[in-house]
């Protein structure tokens, strides 16, 4: 018993140190003040390198003048593969993490997370580790389907909840297993503040808080309480809160779903609900997401690495739309809104025309053909 208590004590001390660091970290990076913005490109695993390479081509096309002027630099970072991570016994090898920290923003392909029984060492998720190491506390996922009246923006807390301590669970003998969940006041406050600031800046009238605070009373209760404290500073915005189970139902309720605009969620619920939401837009293969912090930001596809496609030689047919959408979010975030708007329009125009259809197989277009199509529209 003493050994288990020592492990829990270590977790508590770790989180207390984290809270103090959050309290002392005040300012966001000002991209306009930088002499050069460095964009890191991380291919990842499976189809990741194939689709990320196409997104990089599109971004380089849009930012060609800025690259020539020395205002933007693309930096390809190899080594964040499951083979290297397993060999190092770390979610992110030290040399890769050092390279990531030399960048201001990162465009990232999907990475493989080993599960019990896999051939790889059971290292932590590279995504979770990157979010923790770079303090990327806000996962922002937009879903927009005008013909259905859907215009949602999800603000998912990224560095707490179940995933943050997912590799620190405890097995007690053969019969008992514990995982840990954490919620902190500054962690909940900053994701709520970002969501309400976004709502105010974009003319949104409603912010919805999603928890299971009626059952998960301590952590979800704190998350809900902190979000409602922040809401008091935005009296012009309507605030409501829903439980995660009924919220998953209301997203498919045709009468109710059009009323939602901005949603704030803890990590686990945000992961689940945004995958459901992406289905309205064409599936997780079409959705991109932003992972925002005060000093670093990472933009990625929300789907997995699809290793079977690589095994079957189909990675060239993988759909790069999701990571290209993530690239549009990246452009907007670093101040290139005009280029971002052009890219969003090109994606929508290509989808409407349907000259190239991505099937993931040889009866459809390749990722390169699709990227060329996008650039033609640009």
Instruction: Report how far apart, in Å, the C-alpha atoms of 319 and of each of 45, 68, 137, 281, 325 are.
Output: 15, 29, 28, 14, 11
Mean pLDDT, the chain cut into blocks of 10 residues (378 residues total)? 81 87 85 95 95 97 97 95 90 94 96 75 81 91 90 94 77 84 92 95 95 94 97 97 96 94 96 91 75 93 88 94 93 93 92 86 93 94
In the chain, where the domains are located: 34-136+293-378, 143-282
Fold: same for 34-136+293-378 and 143-282: yes
The whole-number pLDDT of residue 42 equals 96
Strand partners, 208: 240, 263
DSSP class of residue 30 equals: -
Which fold would CATH assign to domain 34-136+293-378? Isopropylmalate Dehydrogenase (3.40.718)
The tokens describing 299, both together, are 């933009």
Q: Which helix (H) or strand (E) holds 222?
A: helix 219-231
**Can you identify the CATH homologous superfamily of domain 143-282?**
Isopropylmalate Dehydrogenase (3.40.718.10)
For the packed helices 219-231 and 185-201, what is the interaxial angle rounded to 10 degrees?
Answer: 40
Residue 272 burial (C-beta neighbours within 10 Å; 0-12, 13-18, 19+):
middle
Pairing outcome for strands 170-172 and 138-145? unpaired
Measured distance CA(314)–CA(320) in Å, rounded: 13
Q: What is the pTM of this model?
A: 0.82
Percent composition of the chain: helix, strand, coil (DSSP 3-state, to 5): 50, 15, 35
DSSP 283-300: -GGG-EEEEE-SS-EEEE
- Strand, coil or helix: what is 114? coil
At residue 108, what are phi and psi to the nearest 5 degrees? -130, 135
Measured between alpha carbons, how far apart are the two ends of the chain, in Å?
63
Measured distance CA(265)–CA(274) in Å, rounded: 10
Measured distance CA(181)–CA(9) in Å, rounded: 14
**Max CA distance (Å), the chain:** 65
> In 161-181, which positions are buried (b, 16+ CB within 10 angstroms) versus exposed (e)?
bbbbbbeeeeeeeeeeeeebb
Contacts of 254 (CB under 8 A, 6+ apart): none
Contacts of 141 (CB under 8 A, 6+ apart): 153, 154, 156, 270, 274, 277, 278, 287, 288, 289, 290, 302
Residues 50/318, Cβ–Cβ less than 8 Å: yes
Residues 305/110, Cβ–Cβ less than 8 Å: yes
Pick from 180, 192, 222, 185: nearest CA to 20:
185
HSE-CB at 120 with a 13 A cutoff on CA atoms is 19
């Amino acid at each position: 018993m003493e050994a288990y208590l020592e492990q829990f004590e270590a977790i508590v001390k770790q989180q207390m140190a984290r809270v103090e660091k959050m309290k002392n970290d005040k300012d966001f990076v000002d991209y306009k003040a930088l002499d050069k913005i460095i964009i890191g490109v991380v291919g990842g695993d499976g189809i990741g390198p194939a689709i990320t390479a196409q997104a990089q081509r599109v971004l380089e096309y849009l930012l060609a003048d800025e690259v020539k002027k020395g205002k933007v630099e693309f930096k390809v970072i190899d080594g964040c593969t499951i083979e290297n991570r397993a060999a190092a016994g770390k979610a992110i090898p030290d040399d890769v993490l050092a390279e990531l920290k030399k960048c201001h923003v990162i465009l990232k392909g999907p990475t493989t997370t080993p599960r019990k029984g896999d051939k790889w060492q059971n290292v932590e998720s590279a995504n979770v580790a990157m979010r923790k190491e770079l303090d990327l506390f806000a996962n922002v996922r937009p879903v927009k389907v005008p013909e259905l009246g859907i215009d949602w923006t999800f603000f998912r807390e990224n560095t707490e909840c179940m995933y943050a301590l997912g590799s620190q669970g405890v097995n007690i003998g053969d019969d008992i297993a514990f995982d840990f969940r954490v919620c902190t006041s500054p962690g909940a406050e900053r994701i709520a503040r970002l969501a309400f600031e976004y709502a105010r800046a974009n003319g949104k009238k409603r912010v919805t808080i999603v928890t299971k605070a009626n059952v998960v009373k301590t952590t979800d209760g704190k998350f809900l309480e902190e979000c409602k404290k922040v809401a008091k500073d935005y009296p012009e915005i309507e605030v409501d809160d829903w439980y995660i189970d009924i919220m998953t139902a209301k997203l498919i309720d045709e009468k109710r779903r059009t009323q939602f605009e901005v949603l704030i969620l803890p990590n686990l619920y945000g992961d689940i609900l945004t995958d459901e939401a992406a289905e309205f837009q064409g599936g997780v293969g079409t959705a991109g997401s932003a992972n925002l912090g005060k000093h670093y930001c990472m933009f990625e596809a929300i789907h997995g690495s699809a290793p079977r496609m690589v095994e079957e030689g189909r990675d060239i047919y993988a759909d790069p739309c999701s990571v290209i959408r993530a690239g549009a979010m990246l452009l907007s975030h670093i101040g290139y809104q005009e280029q971002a708007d052009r890219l969003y329009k090109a994606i929508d125009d290509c989808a409407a025309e349907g000259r190239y259809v991505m099937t993931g197989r040889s009866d459809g277009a390749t990722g390169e053909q699709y990227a060329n199509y996008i650039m033609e529209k640009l």
